[in-house]
Structure 1
Amino acid sequence: MEQFLNLIPESPIVPFTILILVSLTIPPIFERLRLPGLVGLLFAGVVLGPNGMQVLSPDSEIMKLLSDIGKIYLMFVAGLEIDLEEFRRKRNRSLSFGLMTFAFPLTVGTAIGLSVGYGINTSILMGSLLASHTLLGYPIVARLGVVANESVVVTIGATIFTDIAALLVLAICISIHGGDFSATSIIIQLAALGIYAAIVLFGLDWAGKEYFRRTGNEESNQFLFVMLAVFLVSVGSQIINVDQIVGAFLAGLAVNDVIGHSPVEEKVEFVGSTLFIPFFFVGMGLLIDVPAFIQSLTTGIGLTLAIVLGLLGSKLMAATGMKLLFRYNWNETMTMWALSVPQVAATLAAALAAERVGLISEQVFNTVIVLMLVTSVLGPILTARFGSRLSIPKPNLQAPKEAWIPEKHSEIGLENPWNQFTVVVAVSNPMSVRYLVEMAGLLARHESGLVVPITITQAHVQMDEPQLDVTLRQSDRLLEKAAEVAKEFGVQTETRLRIDDDIAEGISRTAREFDASLIVIGWNSNTSLRARLLGNLIDNVFWSSHCPVAVLKLLEAPIDIHRILVPVKNITPQAIRTIRFAQLFADSNQAEVMLLQVCDRRTSREQVNELESELSTILASGPQVKSDIQVLVHDNVSDALLKASQSFDLVVLRSMRRRTAGGLAVSDVTTEMIKSLTCSFILFGEPHS
């Protein structure tokens, strides 16, 4: 091993390459073992660190830099992903639960620290490490369709209080540890932190909105603005003697409303979840002293058990307190407990900051690692168990047939010269023109509407470029072919050839000019790194469009499609609009629609019957086409849907993307199906979906 290590050049690029390799390969392996990917990253850090292969050193400058960036990024994303709108909706109850789920663990943790002989400052900090929580179970409640349940909303809202309060305690404890304790110094520190927080939250919010308003669609500059903001605020927090993770969290809250669920947010989170956050967890693994860690689990087993059981018990006390105050049922209470149990983001970042300044011992730091491992596994399991028993808030099921069509301009004070159902079809590939225009023609004929085939030619600096002339002639031929196909359906047609700097924006602008009811584009399977980072054409059209978008991958002509499958994950207004689209297409082509819902094995017969009844009501309120409903009980949603799709001509999927609160990507059923479907499919989505 030593001879092999001697062959590795001493260059900063080597550890960076190793970190990328670890981030790429290790998390998927652990997720297949049904363990969190971050556990794999910690394990990799231990194996590659001083107690293992000694390939990476926690003391190297490159590891310190990348680990610090990852720590800052982790806390920034934690602040960025807090749903402020949900917090505002139930702020009183969220604050109540936030106060209880912070105060009880803080008290229990402080008592444990004092009982084993730690000082008051260290003991209070130990308590604060138990007080925050990371919403690792959020993707699970989203999959179950119970995000709108009040108990889930309240728990999500409580996160903002627990994280801020825990980081505030950390800042005070580190300040006390670094200097003389006095009431005056604490008051000065709190005042400085309060003023700084106000400047960041209000000043950065205002500056961000102004910058985004002035820069329009310059996403690269907006991305750099966000990056500058987070690291500038982190540096500023150190100037006032507060740990940089406090500033990073404040920066996340400050730009939360500015970037919203925009492409810039996706780019920010993509960079973090792909690079820097995994680097932080590997760096944490490098710091674990294996002999000391084993000793913590043997000679220090009393402290470890006390902290783990103290956390579980105190979080349960907080959830039970909410049950008594607001009369939640036991399933809601236990879901609140399960969601508030995992200790990852704020806990690990705070523990690392405290350990580096000598405020907590190595034994306590190792105990926090054990706590993270236990709760990151236990929390999602409990969330799945109790979340599946929650009642799903019922949407308005009496939506009209046109529920998927957005408001017309005339209804908001603008004139629409066409004043009819309009389908904009983006054509670029001669091989797919017929199928795309056929789909648009069927829908437009059904609604007595207009088909607008368009081609977008990317602009050149010089408009007399020979290549531009060639492209324009090709576009003209495409439009002629599209117009011929549209005429076969007897619908009104208007072709448009547009020159634009950006293809996606050219499509969206044309659709807006025609007040389109729907955009139809062909499927693009570009999954390159550049596409993931900068977004592909489909992502950008979804984001910039004002109306729904249908992305088609058709293996046969639309007029030959007669059996349509619509998977329904949970009943939401967005799901209803997807069903309406499928019904409209079926009505235009004498096809039949099958709604398929895959349930967990723990779903009761009463819940299945209720779901079938609701789906029947949805179908009855739309276009009257031949339809059916099937509810399957299966452990693997993707496998069940793929097997069912083999009997259908077309699958209509809803566009949706998810991420965890910790910044690590989660696979989506829709993504899995798109990769494996052997029949035609349509990805239907609404603006900003």
Structure 2
Amino acid sequence: MFALLAHPLPVSLPLEDPILKFMLIMAIVLAAPLLLNKLRIPYLLGLIIAGAVIGPHGLNLVLRDSSIILSGTAGLLYIMFLSGLEIDIDDFRRNSGRSLVFGLYTFLIPMAVGIPGGHYILGFPLPSSILLAALFASQTLIAYPIVSKLGITRDKAVTIAVGGTVITDMLALLVLTIVVGVSTGSVGEAFWYRLGISIVACIAIIAFLFPLLGRWFFKHCSDSVSQYVFVLVMVFLGAYLAQLAGLEPIIGAFLSGLAMNRLIPRTSALMNRVEFVGNAIFIPFFLIGVGMLIDYRAFFRDWETLKVSAVMIVLVTGAKYAAAVLTQKSFRLTRDQRTVIFGLSSAHVAATLAAVMVGYNVILGHTPEGEPIRLLNESVLNGTILMILATCTVSTFATQRGAHRIALKGTPAEPGPAHERERILIPVSNRENVGELIALSTAVSPARKPPELYALRALDNRTEDLDARKRAAALLETAASAAAATDNYLHPLLRYDVNIVNAVMGVVREHRITDLVMGMHRAKAEPAGLGRTLSELLHHCNVTTLIYQPRQPLQTLRRHVVIVPRKAEQEAGFQSWLRRVRDLGRNTGAKLAFYAPAATMRFLRAGAGRQGAEAQYILFETWDDLPELLGEVRRDDCVWLVMSRRERVSYHPAMSRVPTLLAEALPGNGFVLVFPEQAGETDMLFMG
């Protein structure tokens, strides 16, 4: 110890020790929220400013070397991947026309003002002016973490802005490719064929092959680390394919997010890991790396740089605002939604930097003095840096203002009883299905209001087996870990009672449980059926009960087939289980298919438009035809059967044969038996 103090480690600037560099950057990431909240500076802007302060043009503490560039590139791709991953696919499809219109607005308006502005105001030749206009048209979703943190990623304005960003960036980068090709004389007939075929091939591979690979991998690999690494591989593979096709890598990252969207539910443990690592490591590195590009001294070297910068900032900000206003008027959006669209679309970082560097490196000739004549000169390069700082500032303030107001207004309450936080009890006995029971419990609850989870392991109060107690404690710890991975706290309950039914009933009363989620685990020797324990529990317990038999991971399911009996709408718990199923559809992205009689169908359809889940409604009049219907179930379907206790309104005799039918007809499919809350006391035994 004293030897180390006697010979201190040499510290020179800029820092070269990777330990010190990483420690400094992470200290900035840690301290930024604490300091910036007091100064009312947006977190994203603060990280950019911090990068400028510590960068080579500031205090020269850290160079923008290959390690910073690598981490920053990963962060940018991460932002685009998250924007594709968190988007509501159904909303994206419904708003695809609006996204296309906004994308054209935010591309054509900057092009319309950028070309004459560059040619007549700044005196650039026409090719340089077109490329400058393409810089104006491109945009980066640098403020997307703001809307993600506030939980409004599925708002119509965000969906339109994200879709429009992809469209305008693709068009802007195509303009870049064409202008550079024309300027260097490499555009010919083969150029257009090669470009078109490569773009179509890239989109087709990502859109069709990536989901197949993802579904296969998640079915065969349950290791959490391997799943996350697989996601990273898909992000960078999509980005590289886009780069090979002549597109910007950010387009490939966004398409990868769309392709993996349904495989990574927003309530899943994997989504929690993806967001956590991105927000803690990759995205801050990207923002700090952007700040390191800022050279404030370049703005005082000559008036030409200041002139170019001022023209660029005014034109691009005005053009993006005009596009947001036209979008608002076209689709009757609110002022706050217009502000969010403007905020998300006004920042210029990734595609802008790519375009300006390409244009700067294209040399068209040389002056008599031997100086290179560039497609975009040094004043545009330096002006772009100032434009990045200004537009990022405008973007973060505008997005934060609009998104905060939208978040405060919130989502209209769903019909039915007051939407209190669900209290879900999960009796656990089998380590193998604990993770899937937790996944189902979180998936059937609103994402904006996570459930309160309880796991119960019941032991006979006469037991003195120490090993049994240790196994029970380990099982509850497994359940708590699975819930923690989804960012939910679980209350582990080890209870001694005369039997499991009494233990469950006691917890239901003491903790005011609203839902039971149970596994269908039973001994092989036991005949097909619910079994005595479940039957007794249903006899005594009158809360919404889901009995789940998982066959494959929840996120790999394509569709949930919900079979509803006649008069189900007359049961007390009808709205409750229907709300759970719709939350499941929203949170997992899987399709819902309701099979029900005509009289019940109109109650199922009620409120479906407001609640957003994509669903089919198919007439199914009698449960006597249940075997034929089960024969039509696909391999990646999960079957939900809405049941009833004996002599209740919606009971049908075929329900007593359901477990046997499922075992025979669907040995490879998962299923859920739904027992709704019913009026009065459950005094009739359902089945033995």
Query: Given the two structures, how large is their TM-score scaled by the length of structure 2?
Result: 0.55
- Partner of residue 216, structure 2: 210
* Structure whose CA Rg is larger: 2
Paired position in structure 1 for 2:390: 374
- In percent, how many aligned pairs have the same letter? 29
Q: Give 2:225's aligned residue.
A: 220
Does residue 192 (structure 1) correspond to residue 198 (structure 2)? The answer is yes
- 1:110 touches 1:126 (CA, 8 Å); kept in 2? yes
1:363 aligns with 2:379: yes
- Unaligned runs of 5+ residues in structure 1 are 406-420, 428-450, 458-465, 495-505, 520-539, 545-572, 578-689
Q: 1:83 to 1:134 in 2, by over 3 A?
A: farther
* 2:95 counterpart of 1:90: yes
Number of the residue aligned with 1:455: 457
Mapped to 1, the partners of 2:456 and 2:20 lie a distance apart of 49
In the alignment, structure 1 residue 285 sits paired with structure 2 residue 287: no
Is the CA contact 1:67–1:283 (under 8 Å) kept in the aligned structure 2? yes
Show the counterpart of 1:180: 186
Out of 308, 317, 324, the residue aligned to residue 312 of structure 1 is 317
Partner Cα distance (1:150, 1:125) in 2: 31
- Correspondence for 2:470: 471
CA distance in 1, matches of 2:179, 2:458: 59
CA contact (8 A) 1:229 1:251 kept: yes
Q: CA offset at residue 337 of structure 1?
A: 5.3
> Which residue identity does 1:249 align to in structure 2?
F
Check 1:393–1:369 CA distance in 2 against 1; reply closer, same or farther (3 A cut). Answer: same
Query: Partner of 1:300: helix, strand, or coil?
Result: helix
Amino acid at match of 2:254: F
Give the match for residue 620 of structure 2: none
Q: What is the aligned partner in structure 1 of residue 335 from structure 2?
A: 331
- CA distance in 2: counterparts of 1:98 and 1:174, whole angstroms: 23
> How far 1:471 sits from its partner (Å)?
1.2
Report which stretch shifted further, 476-485 or 194-203: 476-485
Aligned-pair CA distance for 1:50? 2.6
Contact 1:423 1:518 in 2 (8 A): no
Aligned to 1:67: 72
* Distance in 1 of aligned mates of 2:454 and 2:334: 55
Deviations 1:388-416 (A, max 9, x none): 499969847641479988xxxxxxxxxxx
| Structure 2 contact 110–319 (Cα < 8 Å) conserved | yes
Candidates 257, 280, 298, aligned match of 1:252: 257
1:276 has 2:271 as partner:
no
Deviation readout 1:321-352 (Å, 9 max, x if unpaired): 345545x2773784465345431564455457
1:568-611 alpha-carbon deviations (Å, 9 max, x no partner)? xxxxx89x99xxxxxxxxxxxxxxxxxxxxxxxxxxxxxxxxxx
Structure 1 match to 2:111: 106
Secondary structure of 1:455's counterpart equals strand
CA distance in 2 between partners of 1:452 and 1:279 (Å)? 38
Measure the CA separation in 1 of the matches of 2:15 and 2:150. Answer: 50
Question: Partner of 1:619 in structure 2?
Answer: none
The answer as to whether partners of 1:425 and 1:454 remain within 8 angstroms in 2 is yes
Report the CA distance shift for 1:76/1:479 in structure 2 as closer, same or farther (over 3 A): closer
Deviation at 1:367, TM superposition (A): 3.2
CA distance in 1, matches of 2:273, 2:503: 43
Q: 1:162 aligns with which of 168, 173, 177?
A: 168
AA aligned opposite 2:133: G
RMSD, aligned α-carbons: 5.2
Instruction: Give the partner amino acid of 1:454.
Output: L
Tell me the distance in 1 between the aligned counterparts of 2:147 and 2:38: 21
- Paired residue type of 2:470: T
Once residues 125 and 257 of structure 2 are traced to their aligned partners in structure 1, the CA distance between those partners, rounded to angstroms, is: 33
Report what 1:418 is aligned to: none
For structure 2, the residue ranges without an aligned partner over 5 or more in a row are 1-8, 363-374, 430-452, 460-464, 477-492, 510-515, 523-529, 546-552, 558-578, 584-688
Aligned to 2:435: none
Instruction: Tell me the residue number matched to 1:235.
Output: 240
State the match for 1:399 in structure 2. 416
Give the Å deviation of 1:17. 3.2
Cα distance in 2 between the residues matched to 1:329 and 1:11: 51
- Secondary structure of the residue that 1:101 maps to in structure 2? helix
Give, in whole Å, the separation in 2 of the partners of 1:475 and 1:45. 46
Cα distance change, pair 345–36 in 1 and its aligned pair in 2 (3 A)? farther
Note if contact 2:299-2:382 (Cα within 8 Å) is conserved in structure 1: yes
Shift of 1:104: 0.8
CA contact (8 A) 2:115 2:132 kept: yes
Q: Is the 8 A contact 2:458 2:496 kept in 1?
A: no
3-state SS, counterpart of residue 454 of structure 1: strand
Aligned equivalents of 1:243 and 1:159: distance in 2? 12
Q: CA deviation at 1:374?
A: 3.2
SS at match of 1:6: coil
Distance 1:119 1:72, change over 3 A: farther
Q: Secondary structure at the match of 2:70?
A: helix
Preserved contact between residue 151 and residue 335 of structure 1 (Cα < 8 Å): no
1:36·1:376 contact (CA, 8 Å) conserved in 2? no
SS state at 2:346 partner: coil
Between the aligned partners of 2:210 and 2:40, the Cα distance in structure 1 is: 40
Q: Secondary structure at the match of 2:347?
A: coil
Secondary structure of residue in 1 paired with 2:12: helix
Q: Deviations over 1:81-125 (max 9, x none)?
A: 444332212222232222112211232223333332444444333
Question: In the superposition, relative to structure 1, how do residues 7 and 330 fare at CA in structure 2: closer, same or farther (>3 Å)?
Answer: closer
Mapped to 2, the partners of 1:349 and 1:334 lie a distance apart of: 26
What SS does the aligned partner of 2:59 have? Answer: coil
1:17 is the counterpart of 2:16? no
Deviation digits for residues 344-400 of structure 1 (CA, Å, limit 9, x no counterpart): 564455457547846644533443343343344434554566674999698476414
Determine the C-alpha separation between the residues in 1 that align with 2:63 and 2:116: 36
Query: What letter is aligned with 2:335?
Result: N
**Contact 1:130 1:343 survives alignment (8 Å):** no
Aligned-residue offset at 1:255? 2.4
Is the contact between residue 80 and residue 254 of structure 2 (CA under 8 Å) also seen in structure 1?
yes
Moved more, 206-215 or 139-148: 139-148
Match of residue 52 from structure 1:
58
Change (3 A) 1:54 1:389: closer
Q: Deviations over 1:41-98 (max 9, x none)?
A: 333333323333333223x443343333334334433443444332212222232222
SS in 2 for 1:252: helix
- 2:194 is matched by which residue type in structure 1? I
Q: Which digits, 9 at most, give the CA deviation of each residue in 1:598-632, with x for residues without a partner?
A: xxxxxxxxxxxxxxxxxxxxxxxxxxxxxxxxxxx
**Contact persistence 1:82–1:159 (CA under 8 A):** no
1:300 corresponding residue in structure 2:
305
1:554 alignment counterpart = none
Name the CA shift for 1:152/1:453 in 2 (closer, same or farther; >3 Å): closer
